[in-house]
Amino acid sequence: PVVLGIETSCDETGIGIVRGTTLLANAIASSMDEHARYGGVVPEIAARAHLEALAPTIHSALAEARLGWSDIDAIAVTCGPGLSGALMVGVAAAKGLALATGKPLYAVNHLVGHVGVDLVTPDSEPLEYPTIALLVSGGHTSLLLVRDLVSDVELLGETIDDAAGEAFDKVARVLGLPYPGGPHIDRVAVGGNPKAIRFPRGLSLPKDMAAHRYDFSFSGLKTAVARWVEARRDRGEEFSAADVAASFREAVADVLLTKALAACADLQVPRLLLGGGVVANARIRELAAERAAAAGVTLRIPPLELCTDNGAMIAALGAQLIMRGHAPSELGFGADSTLPVTDIQVNVSQ
Ligand code: ATP
Ligand code: MG
Ligand code: FE
């Protein structure tokens, strides 16, 4: 089936089109620049920007795929989690389109989309189940046991405080780098020494591994970096921002992969799938490849442009649901800003 996916959970208006497991178009409009001066996403601005960007982005996606509306078999939309106002714009648009065209509508989970984008990653072998999935995004850091992407996702653990992406954004601010911080930390870290400063690896001491084996904590790391930098500034001491960025990035990558590979070993699942915006990070990708190879674990990472928010991942889930015989969502569903990762499709009839 040819499915058009609509993503508006945060500051990216994403429209993707897939045919089965083949990616045909991935059009994105971002309101990121409008939020930069506030140092973070402003929900009201994001919602307005989606309203303005939706129609033109749908047209770009159809043009990119060289298709017209009559070629689209179904629509998929992100119904959560995310910013309420932003989600509502996409959900309302999707329902309007479904009502006007009579096409079936699938309301799907944004977080599952971040890992499910693997389904339409070009040139990849079919995904084998079960797989451990590590989701690292702006608002979430979760370890999942995926027995099936459209019907069985189990949450093994998640962050008990900040998401890894939030830590990247906060550390960037401390270093005077613009929002969103992730790509800037990556840029500044080049040439820095990752062993220069030993920043804390949250919940990875033996006693924490006993009680919180699959959980994460990044708030202590974020504070440690801020204190370290402030102490140098107070003393008027020079320091290398490259070393700070490289050491911080190393601490995040280390703890993420220690826990993900512990899950692979404990549950005897030699497969690891990464997803989410933070997985665009160069060091996380590199360390994942090294550690997975050493552990005999098969690693799958989406290409950079499919890590951050996009409509292709939503279309991918929609197409997969159809191919697996799932019924469309009834149109009474709403936007759910705190939808849990285990709710893969929202269907009010169930
Ligand atoms: P969620 O998916 O949890 O709702 P979100 O959709 O806002 O949150 P994503 O779009 O998946 O999050 O990811 C955005 C985050 O990814 C931001 O915190 C950003 O700083 C981070 N990020 C982007 N590129 C990089 C990078 N190269 N290194 C580290 N972090 C990055
Ligand atoms: Mg974003
Ligand atoms: Fe996201």
Task: List pLDDT tens digits, range 196-253.
Answer: 999 999 999 999 999 999 999 999 999 999 999 999 999 999 999 999 999 999 999 9
Q: What angle do CA 14, 112, 70 make, to 5 degrees?
A: 45
> SS in 3 state form for 12-56?
EEEEEEEECCEEEEEEEEECHHHHHCCCCCCHHHHHHHHHHHHHH
Q: Residue 216 has what DSSP assignment? A: B
Task: List pLDDT tens digits, range 88-125.
Answer: 999 999 999 999 999 999 999 999 999 999 999 988 88
Considering every ligand atom, which ligand is closest to the CA of 279?
1
Q: What residues flank ligand 1, with Cβ below 6 Å?
A: 9-10, 82, 110, 114, 137-140, 165, 168-169, 180-183, 186, 276-278, 280-281, 308-309
Q: Say if residues 77 and 4 touch (Cβ distance below 8 Å).
A: no
Mean pLDDT of the residues in the chain:
96
SS3 88: helix
> How many other β-carbons are positioned within 10 Å of the β-carbon of residue 41?
20
- Dist. CA 181 → ligand 3 center (Å): 15
Task: List pLDDT tens digits, range 173-204.
Answer: 999 999 889 999 999 999 999 999 999 999 99
Question: pTM to 2 decimals?
Answer: 0.96
What pLDDT, on the 0 to 100 scale, is given for residue 349?
58
What pLDDT, on the 0 to 100 scale, is given for residue 203?
97
Q: Say if residues 15 and 30 touch (Cβ distance below 8 Å).
A: no
* Nearest Cα residue to 204 out of 248, 252, 168, 169: 252
Q: What is the ipTM of this complex?
A: 0.97
What pLDDT, on the 0 to 100 scale, is given for residue 346?
97
> How many other β-carbons are positioned within 10 Å of the β-carbon of residue 248?
29
